[in-house]
Amino acid sequence: MKTNKRTSEFSTVPETILIAIRARNKEVNEPGEIINNPRSIEILNQIDYDFSSKKGVLLISQKGVGIKAEIIDELTWDFVHRNPNCIMANGSCELDTRYSRLQTEKMNWHDLDVPESLELEKHFFHKSERFHFISKLTFDFS
């Protein structure tokens, strides 16, 4: 039986990237969710990873991730509308779905992360004229 799930070598991709996406996924499934992020459900459902040995996401983490996403979305949305031709850099993106939620016709978006994390991300997001990947550490100014 063939599966559409993406297998990842988590010895090279930090497992921490799954914490935020699991919290966003759990938040979407709650009544009165802080942020509407169904893309996180699609992504998490496509990752072939055994979560059974992992602790569940704490409610405080889930709400914290939701509040953080909402605040950053609002600030980003405000900036993009005042600067429609902007270039955005999303550092340490860790499977962040912000571009999917906020994309406009003129904005250029760059997801910036370690190469191993971006390799996993490329399974779920596709480079385009307005969406790019940069394999660098956030504080690598080269």
Domain ranges of the chain: 6-135
Distance in angstroms (rounded) separating the CA atoms of residues 114 and 106: 26
Distance in angstroms (rounded) separating the CA atoms of residues 20 and 78: 23
Q: What is the pLDDT at residue 71? A: 95
Distance in angstroms (rounded) separating the CA atoms of residues 9 and 48: 10
Distance in angstroms (rounded) separating the CA atoms of residues 39 and 42: 5
| Sign of the dihedral through C-alpha 103, 107, 113, 119 | positive
Find out if CATH 3.40.190.170 is the number for domain 6-135.
Answer: no
Closest CA to 43 of 22, 57, 58: 22
Write the pLDDT tens digit of every residue in 52-82. Answer: 767 778 888 888 888 998 999 999 999 999 9
Q: Say whether 2 sits in a helix, a strand or coil.
A: coil
State both tokens at 70: 């909402």
| Sign of the dihedral through C-alpha 54, 63, 39, 17 | negative
Q: Is the per-residue pLDDT at 13 higher than 80?
A: no
Distance in angstroms (rounded) separating the CA atoms of residues 85 and 66: 27
Q: What is the mean pLDDT of the chain?
A: 83
Write the pLDDT tens digit of every residue in 94-140. Answer: 888 899 888 888 999 999 988 888 888 888 899 999 999 999 877 78
Q: Say whether 117 sits in a helix, a strand or coil.
A: helix
Range with the largest mean pLDDT of 6-10, 45-49, 75-79, 104-108: 75-79
Q: What is the pLDDT at residue 2? A: 45
State both tokens at 77: 């949305």
